[in-house]
Structure 1
Amino acid sequence: MFCGCFQRIITAAIPVVLLGAAALTLTPAAASQVGLNEKVLVFPFETDFSFVALIPQKEMALRAFTLCLRVATELPEERQIILFAYRTANYDELNVWREKDGRISFYMSGDGAFYHLPPLSTFRTSLCLTWESRTGLAAFWVEGKRSTYQVYKPGHSIRPKGTILLGQDPDKHLGGLEASQSFVGELTDLNMWDFVLSRSMIQAWHYGHKVPKGNIFNWGTIEYELNGNVMVVDDD
């Protein structure tokens, strides 16, 4: 029995594309919701059907970005976890993972970049990722502190018109979900910009100070669709 502060939403999804037994389903447009200010997404169980689809404020045709979120999980370190997934028809355009060896990684249309960062845990971690195409400089930021830079895919562009999910990794466009890669835990305060934020701005976001609103995703006005067993909980 959950108290009244928990808003449990289990949507009745309808299939839009069938790609075998593990086809991804999306709810009707009428089921989309807007805004998660002072809310947390809770993924309570390992599944191959629970996810949140995000609808960007602008096309995901990117040559630079900053992606920030706050995350907590009790899954063991040897368990691979998808933290953010954006896929077009043939490519993982931008996927962020915790690997089986505990490293944090991200992939853009091919081999990934891997970082030894403080481990994710049951206590919330503020995590940002920055990348820009001109130089290929990429870094993770944990609790406002930057990792070493890596040079990753200079000259690359992220393509638009894909599917953006939290909680699952689509191995195909609109399908191919696996419970063993699903996210279990809490996600909140996800914001994304189509440019690289400065160190001072990332640190301000970490401490909850005012920063420019994300022009791709802004947690306060984010448009999203809940599918399966996902909970929206007050951030208290």
Structure 2
Amino acid sequence: VEMIPQKNLNLRSFTLCMRVATELSGRREVILFAYRTRNHDELHVWRELDGRLSFYLAGDGVLFKVPELGALQTHLCVTWDSTSGLAALFLDGKRSLSKIYRRGHTVRAGGRVILGQDPDSFLGDFDSDQSFVGEIFDVNMWDTVLADSVIQGMFAGKREPRGNVFDWESTELRINGDVKVVTREL
């Protein structure tokens, strides 16, 4: 699934949230979210082979040891701020420790976002062994770091402001491959 952003992904900070469920525990690494420009993997979110969650900004990643994703829906958010370099992960409203990562970096515009598949070139060279199997939905992205209380409110089901980069309720999706889009009330 390709997501069409509502604004450029020229980012110096962001919050990316989604709901995820999978039964691929520990068998292989899987990608949840991939943003790639012509020559670079700009922003990727992975479930690593050892179960850790990670994200990568044009180079080495930052990894978090957290409870494994499973068949029960998990609300997952990633936050990052270029000025401070602070990166954190939220699972079901619980915040990880903060890590300093890619201070001063900017996520460059001009790419494409793919859910559940890793493009090794600009929207091509997919590796089926890295594909996501399960459910990814309610993907929202903001060009700021949201307050912890807002992320916790989203997990708890409160009606929080929708993403200004991606809003799951209105973002255009382009479907490719063996993907089923199911509409249901959140």
Name the TM tier (shorter chain). Answer: over 0.9
Superposed CA RMSD: 0.9
State whether structure 2 residue 18 is matched by structure 1 residue 64. Answer: no
* 2:138 counterpart residue number: 189
Distance 1:144 1:211 in 2: 14
Q: After TM superposition, what 4+ stretches of structure 1 lie above 3 angstroms from structure 2? A: none
Q: Secondary structure at the match of 1:205?
A: helix
Q: How far apart in 2 are the matches of 1:73 and 1:183?
A: 8
SS at match of 2:153: helix
1:164-209 CA distances to partner (integer Å, 9 max, x unpaired)? 1012100111211000000000111110000000011001111121
Picking from 174, 179, 183, the partner of 1:230 is 179
- Report SS of the residue matched to 2:178: strand
- For 1:143, the equivalent position in structure 2 comes to 92
1:16 corresponds in structure 2 to none
Gaps of 5+ in 2: none
Amino acid of the structure 2 residue aligned with 1:109 = A
CA displacement, residues 21-60 of structure 1 (integer Å, 9 cap, x when unaligned): xxxxxxxxxxxxxxxxxxxxxxxxxxxxxxx001000000
Q: Residues 45-100 of structure 1, C-alpha deviation per residue, up to 9 Å, x if partnerless?
A: xxxxxxx0010000000000000000000113131000000001111100000001
User: Is this contact kept in 1: 2:20–2:136, CA < 8 A?
Assistant: yes
Q: CA deviation at 1:234?
A: 3.4
Rg larger in structure: 1
Tell me the matched-pair count: 185
Match of 1:79 among 28, 33, 40: 28
Percent identical: 54
SS at structure 2 position matched to 1:190: strand
Match for residue 120 of structure 1 among 49, 69, 81: 69
2:25·2:69 contact (CA, 8 Å) conserved in 1?
Answer: no
Retained in 2: the 8 A contact 1:78–1:102?
no
Instruction: Please say if residues 97 and 104 of structure 1, whose CA atoms lie closer than 8 Å, have aligned partners that are also in contact.
Output: yes
AA aligned to 2:121 is K
